[in-house]
Structure 1
């Protein structure tokens, strides 16, 4: 209504809204804090940059080794695809570090066929199976390794490797085919060298610590890395990337799913359908008789009042009472529908002889501090409207001696 819009209606403030929705606010804050903590932890755990990349100065990178090799006249060419590595492999040493295991057996065989000398850091099962049958992973070394145990020039110059080395074992068939180990720790070796089935000279280094920035300067790591990678004028530094992933060869969902999953899923679907039919079948209409759809206004008012009481919305409930009272008072005073509240206050004051400030406080200004004040203000509104109605009634209607209202 226009007269209600013109009145300064007081609505619940920010504090009441926050108190009413504090559960959702707490949940949202918890989710945001959890996301921030997760991002922070991942940033601490996950090293920055690509591991063992030639342009990565982080502790896990290999920029230091690449720059030392370049200063000694070695042309270091960093590539991220198998096609580039194969095209540049002829006459060069190829360094391979496949951290995510992106290369398949055919890819490793193709790379070994194109290269004359291949150095692999942390070889996986596919690389060992293709290039060095009989060489297997064997855990970690207990500490630094100072037993060279081979005649490899690079290993002899290094003399010792730092802690954190991964070990490889060599079985009899691999030893017969020409594979030998360096830097022995028990039955394992930190470095294994030998010829691949295609004739390429392969050096398998169990750990990336020999090449990483943070550990390349420890013990004889740098001497071994430079000796293995700097034996030729050209070095192809190959870190497989997304371009090497062949989506056509990826296993399908059917291949990854156990054989019993499909029949069990079909059986569960049939059981669900049967249960739905069993529990959901009905004979005839759900309700036989027609139900009344009329809801008395009193029930609607009581329901809304309970909602206001449950949420402690005294101000909002009082606003609704005041809007209705102002509208009815304007009709009693024969004021236009768009009359402002001040005009209604003046008309009521003149009709019942009550001071205008008191009338305005009842209609607009006073706010309830509790349930008792709310009830008192509601009663004052009712009394005010009754007084105006009595004052505006014709003079003959004031005679209460004749309850029938007839003239004497």
Structure 2
């Protein structure tokens, strides 16, 4: 390369900010796609978060109990609707009802007619009269580990169990109260109409977080695994179906009970979340953003006189005599001030004194015309216009 040759440089391209501004739609689309993928992945992970559900692998679930029971040869089947139970052999099936306080009176009646063993977990104050047990819910348990304190073999095999929550008491000698602390028990068991009814007021010992403590696992296996089959139902306030089992409701009861249909297809919740995310992104994209003003040419040229007439027609249609008078007074004061050399930022007193001196009128009359009250009607507005014209002509008179 010789000294006379010119050095040529490649022109710089647009910066990162300019390229990002030009591809804004692409960035929004990519962000929306990434958010949708994250949402779907998060919704697939630990999808069941219902407490005491056998499908829930979190601390509040009972998935660990299910696995232990299956290791001992017990088949566990959870149902979403009470009518989906369809128990063919109640003598070989334990019905587990979690959160029984959510059951309706009709559901409690069908539960009372079930001839097989029943285990209820959780708040039971409203359920106790329907179970045929003379048991009352009283004070709360302290929450520490307590011994079985009864002759029930399942409770004695568990040894110490830590309960917290509501407590039970009874005066019926046929009801066995176990895990008694200061006269209040956490477990009640009795033979009612040829079946065993077990009430556990606190369900925490059966959850994934507490199952490996004390004798919780032994209690779960002994109480829930007494039969080869377990039907698990977590009560839902939106479910109004009744229990379906052999022997429930008598011979005239229908063998098929239609469950409450679920009108929403699977994945509806994730779709709603994705739609809400898309709406938020679109709102952020289309929202008003404040920045530097940009001058844009009007599609047509509008003359000043036409704009003035149009505004006057709007004022007249709205009967806004006060706003019309204020505009006329401001324009007249501006013209007279320029004529006599009064700056625009001068005070009211200075302008009135200068106009009064130039027109020869009293200052009170000038102040009334320029700063007086708004006219009450169109006739008063026309009178004010005439007086302003007269005052302006007097000031402009040589």
TM-score range, shorter chain: 0.3 to 0.5
Tell me which protein shows more helix as a share of its residues.
1
